[in-house]
């Protein structure tokens, strides 16, 4: 499998804080790569760097072999890279369908409005929002808004999907539903880079895991390898329950 | 050469007062992310308050400062509750429009009452001479009072509980609420304070220059230019930015016709925002 | 997904079937009423209404769709007026060419300026639009070929190619009604296009829109430029008709302020909103400002109205109508 996304020696400073410190790893095409790490490790910052919201101080980001470092977010989206946000960002007064249509129009396939609407319906159905297409986004529940984030990202038919804590704030039933949705996404050939705190979910979903700590890569490997890595366990030592979960790899 | 130097020094003095006006804007912006487009009307209100105080009530000009401050404060409270309170949390467009509309109403009323004629408050104060040039006493005193007020503002924000509460809300509103700070009260206070600063700066400008009801726009613009130069939410930056603007005006006025001043200032405004999004004097916030 | 010939024909038929188009037709017919009975007084007040609707509709593209307030939108109207009047008086251009040229020139300038000031967000953009107006006004006031601060007077012989002053006034009126109709159509065309969808997304959440792939800087600049074209043409027609233009009239912020009030009153982001708002505003103004003393209160009224709308009914009249009669949502956008 070829590398769809490559992070090379990425560095980002905010004032005195080194948020990302010479980070390098690759995401292989077709895989689900999990990104874990303690709070403040730099995971969301990394996403913001990848999709162009922040600009890196040093290093490169390659998407399909093309250097996208420093490109504005809309150009990166056009290349086929979509993301969800940890704090949901719905286009509040627009309906679910309209939200997804925007994404489908301006995403990779650059569809006209009619075709985009069809793609939007498809994406909404994938996450289970097909019965709420005419609802304004602001009126959805938090779970609904999370689904909308995902549907919107999917509507653009991306090659790479960046998921930022899609499971946060969901009850167990909703979590199970989302996990199966994500498996379905992968089966459609979309590569996924996922940040998640729910250990059992990310461990069972991902083929490989990258562990981040203080902006640096702490470990990389299969879930089992990472769970048994002493450095990783130590990083999580502050939370023995989490470390146990890691080890159990439920 | 000496003429330019004199112009510069005078510009620095006047610029300080611009800084005071800008502090009003930047305080409100920094605390509640609202751009107060009633700022110009508040400045004009300060000017006319001075006029009424001196001509109708016979109060010595500088003695009018404390009551004008209080009046500006109370007026700001009223303004907050009428036009701003409901706009907090809504898209910024809304607070822009609400403060803009109040400005329209106030300036409109002002024009109806006082027309567009020029008003002048005669303040006799001995100036300071240097070579052939005299630095007007009003300018010097205005700058001095500005420094005093800036100092008091600093003490208030950094040494009193309320001041710290204001800074806390400015920094992170939700966190401040969680800690038990009555955020709405703080917001209204900050807005009132910003209004008071605007009113007082208007008063000081009134001691220095003639004015009309429509002068507010020009000084509001200058306040925004200063804010752009000094960085948002940054009172020290506002003062420095004001002095910088005064400096630029001092350098430019000998060479440029007056009608172009506004244009230059706007150009400066746009350029400053595009080139220095955080303000040229972006020191650490608060 | 390609739009084949049959698709386009089907689209055309669908357009004619949309009730909204018939409504625009009715509005335009209403404006053409004075032609039937030669009522000059009615024509003059309707002309002003047409100007208001033109300005408001185009302002709506920035304000209602993108969520950017353009306080100084009058600059398009005034500059368009100047360019048209100048081309006609100094270079003998015929009216249609001059008006069109001013539209093109102003929207090109707007594109250039826009790319600069649209990098600013929210309030700063809004304030810099005032700056653009002030800058242009200052420039024109000092620009001798355009009469400086005294302005340009047009001689009546310029009305001869149109068949004399009386006939010319009628022609200009119809042209302005046409410009108004085009403005309403432009609002509609943009709103139902992919470009419009991008603009609306920007208006909702600009950062999120960028992440979704909307090329925000370009779209905003195009919107700004597009919102300049028809007002510039209207300005050209209007000031030619007045046979006189001077900086203090051409760049009077009162008009663009009223346009903002009209858009908010009618319902920002809708198509019929500006038209409805203009009608309402004119009525209100006429009713309240009947006496001389109140003439000064024009801006006070505008301000008070705007405050009430922003505080209590930010969606304007259209939002209220849609809430009350949901069926009308498809008919009256």
Domain that holds residue A113: 89-156
What is the pLDDT at residue B285?
38
Domains of chain C from N-terminus onward: 19-331 (1.10.3470)
What is the pTM (predicted TM-score) of this model? Answer: 0.88
Which of B105, B109, B224 lies at the smallest CB-CB distance from C127? Answer: B224
- Domain spans, chain B: 39-109+136-208, 214-286
Q: Long-range contacts for C275-281 (Cβ within 8 Å, ≥24 apart)?
A: C275/C27, C275/C53, C275/C56, C275/C57, C275/C184, C276/C317, C276/C318, C277/C56, C277/C316, C277/C317, C278/C49, C278/C52, C278/C53, C278/C56, C279/C49, C280/C317, C281/C52, C281/C305
Sheet strand arrangement including A17-28 = A17-28, A3-14, A58-63, A66-67
What is the pLDDT at residue C19?
66
Do A152 and A165 reside in the same domain of the chain? no
Do A151 and A163 reside in the same domain of the chain? no
Do A139 and A164 reside in the same domain of the chain? no
Strands C244-245 and C152-153: antiparallel
Average pLDDT over residues C213-222: 93
Do A16 and A138 reside in the same domain of the chain? no
Encoded tokens for B198: 């605007």
Do A29 and A137 reside in the same domain of the chain? no
Strands A66-67 and A81-83: unpaired
Residue with tokens 């204001």: B166
| 8 A C-beta contact, residue C290 and residue C332 | no
What is the pLDDT at residue C5?
43
The tens digit of pLDDT for each residue in A180-226 reads: 899 989 888 899 999 998 888 888 889 999 999 888 888 899 998 88
Query: Cβ of B96 and C119 within 8 Å?
Result: no
Contacts of C201 in chain A (CB under 8 A): 91, 94, 102
What is the pLDDT at residue C125?
87
- Is the pLDDT at A236 greater than 80? The verdict is no
Here the ipTM equals 0.88
Do A46 and A170 reside in the same domain of the chain? yes
Distance from CA of C207 to the nearest CA of A (A): 9
Q: How many CB atoms lie within 10 A of CB C331?
A: 13
Distance from CA of C208 to the nearest CA of B (A): 15
As a whole number, the mean pLDDT across chain C is 86
Mutate to test the interface with C, among B83, B87, B97, B220 (most CBs of C within 10 A): B97
Pick the last residue of a domain from A156, A191, A206: A156
Query: Cβ of C300 and B87 within 8 Å?
Result: no
Do A118 and A137 reside in the same domain of the chain? yes
The tens digit of pLDDT for each residue in C307-317 reads: 999 999 888 88
Using the Cβ of B232 and the Cβ atoms of chain C, whether some distance falls under 8 Å is answered with no
Do A109 and A31 reside in the same domain of the chain? no
Distance from CA of C202 to the nearest CA of A (A): 9
Those residues with Cβ within 8 angstroms of residue B20's Cβ, 6 or more apart along the chain or in another chain: B146, B149, B150, B197, B200, B201, B204, B239, B242
Do A202 and A112 reside in the same domain of the chain? no
Pick the last residue of a domain from A124, A156, A188: A156
Q: What is the CATH number of the domain that holds A226?
A: 3.40.50.300
Mutate to test the interface with C, among B84, B104, B232 (most CBs of C within 10 A): B104
User: Tens of pLDDT along chain B (286 residues)?
Assistant: 677 788 888 888 999 999 999 999 999 988 888 889 999 999 999 999 999 999 888 888 888 899 999 999 999 999 999 999 998 878 888 899 999 999 999 998 998 888 889 998 888 888 888 777 888 888 889 999 999 999 999 899 889 999 999 988 888 888 888 888 888 999 999 999 999 999 999 999 999 999 999 888 889 988 988 888 887 767 888 888 899 889 888 888 777 777 777 778 888 877 877 777 665 555 443 3
Which of A72, A106, A111 lies at the smallest CB-CB distance from C212? Answer: A106
Which of C194, C211, C216 lies at the smallest CB-CB distance from A51? Answer: C211
Encoded tokens for C176: 């302005």
- Is the pLDDT at C241 greater than 60? The verdict is yes
Contacts of C1 in chain A (CB under 8 A): 111-112, 114-115
The tens digit of pLDDT for each residue in C179-203 reads: 999 999 999 999 989 999 999 999 9
Do A195 and A233 reside in the same domain of the chain? yes
Using the Cβ of C131 and the Cβ atoms of chain B, whether some distance falls under 8 Å is answered with yes
Average pLDDT over residues C272-280: 89
The domain tally of chain A equals 2
The tens digit of pLDDT for each residue in C36-81 reads: 777 788 888 889 899 999 999 999 999 999 999 999 999 999 999 9
Pick the last residue of a domain from A97, A131, A156: A156
Query: Cβ of A78 and C213 within 8 Å?
Result: yes
B222: enclosing H helix or E strand: helix B215-230
Q: How many CB atoms lie within 10 A of CB A47?
A: 21
For residue C235, name the pLDDT band (cuts at 50, 70, 90). very high
Inter-chain CB pairs, A–C, below 8 Å: 76
What is the pLDDT at residue B198?
95
Distances (CA, A) of C45 to A92, C40, C173: 40, 9, 11
Strands A81-83 and A160-164: parallel
Do A222 and A189 reside in the same domain of the chain? yes
| 8 A C-beta contact, residue A153 and residue A176 | no
| 8 A C-beta contact, residue C256 and residue C70 | yes
């Amino acid at each position: 499998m070829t590398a769809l996304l490559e992070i090379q020696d990425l560095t980002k400073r905010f004032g005195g804080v080194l948020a990302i410190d010479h980070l390098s790893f690759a995401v292989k095409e077709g895989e689900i790569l999990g990104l874990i790490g303690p709070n403040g490790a730099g995971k969301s910052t990394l996403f913001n760097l990848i999709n162009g919201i922040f600009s890196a101080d040093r290093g490169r980001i390659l998407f399909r072999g093309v250097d996208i470092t420093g490109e504005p977010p809309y150009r990166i989206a056009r290349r086929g890279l979509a993301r969800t946000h940890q704090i949901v960002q719905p286009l509040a007064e627009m309906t679910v369908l309209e939200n997804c249509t925007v994404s489908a129009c301006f995403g990779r396939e650059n569809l006209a409005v009619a075709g985009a609407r069809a793609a939007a319906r498809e994406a909404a159905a994938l996450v289970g929002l097909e019965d709420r297409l005419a609802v304004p986004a602001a009126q959805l529940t938090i779970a609904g808004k999370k689904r909308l984030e995902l549907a919107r990202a999917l509507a653009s038919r991306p090659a790479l999907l960046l998921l930022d804590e899609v499971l946060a704030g969901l009850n167990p039933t909703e979590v199970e539903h989302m996990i199966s949705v994500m498996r379905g996404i992968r089966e459609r050939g979309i590569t996924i880079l996922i940040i998640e705190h729910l250990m059992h979910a990310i461990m069972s979903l991902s083929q490989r895991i990258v562990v981040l700590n203080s902006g640096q890569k702490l470990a990389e490997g299969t879930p089992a390898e990472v769970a048994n890595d002493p450095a990783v366990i130590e990083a999580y030592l502050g939370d023995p329950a989490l470390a146990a979960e890691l080890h159990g790899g439920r | 050469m000496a003429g330019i130097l004199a112009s510069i020094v005078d510009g620095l003095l006047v610029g300080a007062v611009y800084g005071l006006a800008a502090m009003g804007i930047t305080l409100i912006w920094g605390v509640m992310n609202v751009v107060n487009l009633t700022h110009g009307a508040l400045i004009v209100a300060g000017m006319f308050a001075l006029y009424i105080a001196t001509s109708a009530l016979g109060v010595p000009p500088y003695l009018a400062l404390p009551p004008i401050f209080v009046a500006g404060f109370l007026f700001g409270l009223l303004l907050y509750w009428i036009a701003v309170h409901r706009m907090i949390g809504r898209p910024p467009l809304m607070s822009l429009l609400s403060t803009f509309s109040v400005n329209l109403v106030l300036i409109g009323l002002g024009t109806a009452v006082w027309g567009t004629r020029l008003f002048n408050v005669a303040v006799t104060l001995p100036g300071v001479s240097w070579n052939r040039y005299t630095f007007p006493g009003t300018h010097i005193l205005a700058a001095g009072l500005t420094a005093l007020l800036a100092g008091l503002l600093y003490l208030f924000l950094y040494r009193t509980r309320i001041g710290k509460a204001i800074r806390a809300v400015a920094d992170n509103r939700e966190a401040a609420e969680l800690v038990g700070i009555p955020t709405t009260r703080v917001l209204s206070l900050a807005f009132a304070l910003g209004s008071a600063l605007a009113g007082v700066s208007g008063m000081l400008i009134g001691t220095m220059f003639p004015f009309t009801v429509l002068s507010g726009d020009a000084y509001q613009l200058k306040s925004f230019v200063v804010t752009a130069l000094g960085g948002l939410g940054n009172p020290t930056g506002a003062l420095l930015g004001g002095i910088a603007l005064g400096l630029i005006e001092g350098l430019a006025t000998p060479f440029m016709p007056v009608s172009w001043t506004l244009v230059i200032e706007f150009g400066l405004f746009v350029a400053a925002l595009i080139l220095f999004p955080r303000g040229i004097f972006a020191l650490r916030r608060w | 997904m390609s739009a084949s010939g049959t698709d386009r024909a089907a689209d055309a038929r669908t357009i004619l079937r949309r009730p909204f188009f018939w409504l625009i037709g009715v509005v335009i017919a209403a404006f053409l009423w004075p032609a039937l009975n030669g009522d000059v007084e009615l024509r003059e007040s309707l002309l002003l209404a047409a100007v208001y609707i033109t300005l408001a509709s185009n302002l709506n593209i920035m304000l209602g769709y993108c969520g950017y307030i353009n306080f100084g939108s009058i600059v398009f109207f005034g500059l368009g007026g100047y360019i048209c009047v100048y081309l006609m008086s100094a270079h003998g251009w015929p009216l249609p060419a001059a008006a069109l040229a001013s539209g093109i020139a102003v929207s090109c300038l707007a594109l250039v300026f826009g790319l600069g000031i649209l990098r600013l967000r929210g309030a700063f953009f809004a304030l810099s639009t005032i700056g653009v107006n002030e800058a242009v006004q200052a420039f024109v006031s000092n620009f001798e070929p355009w009469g400086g601060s005294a302005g340009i007077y047009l001689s009546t012989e310029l009305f001869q190619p149109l068949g004399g002053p009386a006939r010319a006034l009628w022609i200009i009126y119809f042209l302005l009604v046409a410009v108004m109709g085009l403005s309403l159509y432009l609002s509609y065309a943009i709103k139902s296009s992919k470009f419009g969808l991008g603009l609306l997304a920007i208006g909702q959440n600009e950062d999120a829109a960028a992440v979704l792939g909307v090329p925000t800087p370009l779209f905003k600049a195009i919107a700004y430029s597009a919102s300049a074209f028809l007002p510039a043409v209207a300005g050209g027609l209007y000031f030619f008709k007045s046979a006189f233009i001077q900086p203090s009239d051409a760049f009077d912020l009162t008009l663009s302020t009223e346009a903002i009030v009209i858009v908010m009153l009618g319902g920002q982001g809708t198509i019929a909103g500006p038209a409805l708002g203009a009608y309402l505003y004119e009525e209100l103004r006429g009713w309240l400002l009947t006496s001389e003393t109140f003439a000064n209160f024009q801006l006070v009224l505008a301000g008070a109205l705007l405050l009430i709308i922003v505080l209590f009914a930010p969606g304007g009249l259209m939002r209220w109508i849609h809430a009350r009669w949901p069926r009308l949502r498809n008919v009256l956008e």
